[in-house]
Amino acid sequence: GESVGLHLPTLSVQEGDNSIINCAYSNSASDYFIWYKQESGKGPQFIIDIRSNMDKRQGQRVTVLLNKTVKHLSLQIAATQPGDSAVYFCAENGNSGYSTLTFGKGTMLLVSP
């Protein structure tokens, strides 16, 4: 079946660095993509989303890039802080008839002071 994301990797960065978390998706029918942050012991929290008619969207310290040609999604975090340490998930809506989000396997971001 279709799938989103990669095996759970870990990205280690220093405080102040820029972080880039990548996600590959395979369902070309998806028209909506979203990033979540999950801290230990908590539920996933919304970070930023993007529709398929856009290729870039910016938020506060975060940018999502969508490359539909290669089916790739990335999350850029500027000036990474220790509080950004968490597991990050991408998700798409093309499966289950657009009725829900299908999540990738997540990336652990570790930020050292």
Q: How far apart are CB 19 and another protein at their closest, in Å?
A: 18
The H or E element spanning position 94 is none
Q: Residue 88: beta bridge partners?
A: 37, 107
3-state secondary structure of 98: helix
CB nearer to another protein: pick between 32 and 110:
32
Shortest distance in whole angstroms from residue 80 CB to another protein: 20
Nearer to another protein, 71 or 105 (CB): 105
- Strand order across the 72-77 sheet: 19-24, 72-77, 62-67, 56-58
Q: How many residues in the chain?
A: 113
CB neighbourhood size of 27 (10 A): 16
Residue closer to another protein by CB (options 17, 32) is 32
**Minimum distance between the CB of residue 53 and another protein, rounded to whole angstroms?**
15
Point out which residues bind another protein (CB under 8 A): 8, 32, 34, 36, 38, 41-46, 49, 87, 89, 93, 96, 98-103, 105-106
Q: Please, which residue, 14 or 99, has the CB nearer to another protein? A: 99
